[in-house]
């Protein structure tokens, strides 16, 4: 039984380490760099959006909710942006 359980646990640990969990950030936009597809919130954190994101829909001063994942290098990769309630 122990011989079977050890590889299964190892695979589950390896899979768990590779999954990125989405998080949300809600704050006011401090800066937008449309060319780089980035939004900086008042807390100073920068979120990078895919090139297909229409950055004209948001402006500095908007309160937004950004859904993102953080990669191993610490880069915040945004997957969604919406007006915050």
Q: Sign of dihedral through CA atoms 58, 29, 78, 23?
A: negative
pTM: 0.75
How far apart, in Å, are the Cα atoms of 4 and each of 15, 30, 81?
17, 53, 45
Q: Does domain 21-83 have CATH number 2.40.50.320?
A: yes
Could you tell me the residue ranges of all domains in the chain? Answer: 21-83
Per-residue pLDDT of the chain (85 residues; tens, 9 = 90+): 556 666 666 665 655 555 568 899 999 999 999 999 999 999 999 999 999 988 888 999 999 999 999 999 999 999 999 999 8
The predicted structure's pLDDT at residue 4: 62
């Amino acid at each position: 039984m122990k011989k079977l359980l050890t590889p299964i646990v190892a695979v589950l640990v390896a899979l768990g380490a590779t999954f990125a969990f989405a998080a949300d950030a809600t704050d006011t936009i401090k800066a937008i760099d449309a060319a780089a597809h980035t939004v900086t919130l008042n807390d100073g954190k920068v979120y990078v959006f895919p090139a297909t994101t229409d950055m004209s829909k948001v402006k500095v001063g908007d309160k937004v909710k950004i859904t993102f994942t953080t990669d191993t290098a610490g880069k915040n990769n945004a997957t969604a942006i919406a007006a915050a309630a």
